[in-house]
Amino acid sequence: MLLRKYHIVVFRENKGTSRQLNLRGWVFFSALFLVLGLAGCSMYLWGYQYKTTFLSNKLKEATKTIQEQNIQIANIGGKLMMLQNDLARVQQFDSKLRVMMNLDRELEEINGGGGGPVTSTGGPMPTGLQPLPLYRQELLSRRVHSLLDQMDTDTRVEELRQQDLLHAMRENRELLASTPSTWPVEGYLTSTFGNRVSPFGSGTSDFHKGLDIANRMGTPVRSPAKGTVTFIGWDGGYGNCVIINHGNNITTRYAHLSASTVTLGQTLMRGDKIGLVGNSGRSTGPHLHYEVRVGGVCVNPLRYILN
């Protein structure tokens, strides 16, 4: 019945004319189904687009959150490396004190050379702001946890070492007071202890027995520890020279002075004025030549300087 042939008559208002359309039922229903199908597809596509847009916004929010978390993790890693470097400096200071107090034989090198912060797994600590892949995030998280565990262990060990050191310091106050542990003069370190090229133009290598600290003529030179003046005067290439005996087989020498301000046999405390920077003796310019000797043997003064 529905698929029969239909006649549709259209009348034009006020003109008395009409037009007749012949339409078969299957064409009408096909058109109707087509319209309904298009409407259904449009509704489906609109819902799909809405869902896609919603998920895209969620993905952007999640990506932003991950980027912020990456930045926070990287910043935490950087701060942890700074703390680790601070702890290493404390450990090195502790080791230097122990050497000075004869608790350890040699200075233990705690903190090695440069190259930037390095994690416990050997790779550089990421500090960039770019998003990291998931496997990199997992690796970074493991590194941070490993670093925290290592720092916790190092801190506990250092606490025990510091308690031991504090006890030793209480029993050796006189030794500490007599140990040359400060810089004798302000200035620029122009030559260190050990082998060097001769500064007198010969081009040969010689062994430098102390530190050369350059400054203006007349700059005050001060005692780095308690001691007794055992020598004042001219000493060959050292020029005007002062020697102080600090006890425990430790002596210090101050050379190339322009003048001395102490007397033979005078007892000095740390910070007392010894003399003035000069250019006497075999010298290439105003500076202080500073030596530390243990049992008459020259040792590196930096081994004792704490500040």
Q: Measure the CA–CA gap between 219 and 287, rounded to whole angstroms.
A: 9
Q: Which residues on adjacent β-strands are paired with residue 11? A: 18
Question: How many domains are contained in the chain?
Answer: 3
Which of 177, 201, 232 is the last residue in one of the domains? 177
Tokens of 41: 């597809």
In this predicted model, which residue has the larger pLDDT, 110 or 216?
216
Same-domain check for residues 59 and 77: no
Q: Which residue has the higher pLDDT, 307 or 48?
A: 48
Q: What is the pLDDT of residue 127?
A: 44
Structural domain range at position 54: 5-64
Tell me the pTM: 0.51
Co-location of 47 and 112 in the same domain? no
* pLDDT band of 297, cuts 50, 70, 90: very high
Q: Quick check: is 182 in a domain?
A: no
Give the separation between CA 71 and CA 163, rounded to whole angstroms: 38
CATH for 210: 2.70.70.10
Residue 132's H or E segment, with its range, is: none
Same domain, 29 and 74: no
Partnered with residue 206 across adjacent β-strands are 196
pLDDT of residue 119: 38
Higher pLDDT, 213 or 26: 213
How far is the C-alpha of 209 from the C-alpha of 172, rounded, in Å?
28
Where is average pLDDT lowest: 39-48, 151-160, 271-280? 151-160
Which of 48, 64, 80 is at the close of a domain?
Answer: 64
Pick from 105-119, 136-150, 185-199: least confident: 105-119
At residue 291, does pLDDT exceed 90? yes
Kindly write down the DSSP assignment for every residue of 123-170, as one continuous string: SBPP---S---HHHHHHHHHHHHHHHHHHHHHHHHHHHHHHHHHHHHH
pLDDT at 171: 62
Residues 196 and 280 both lie in one domain: yes
Q: Is residue 183 part of a domain?
A: no
Mean pLDDT over 191-214 rounds to 83
Is there a contact between 290 and 242 (Cβ–Cβ < 8 Å)? no
Name the more confident of 67 and 262: 262
Tokens of residue 267, six digits: 């007892």
Average pLDDT of the residues in 140-144: 71
Based on the domain organization, do 76 and 47 belong to the same domain? no
The pLDDT assigned to 238 comes to: 92
In the numeric block, which tokens belong to residue 210? 């102390």
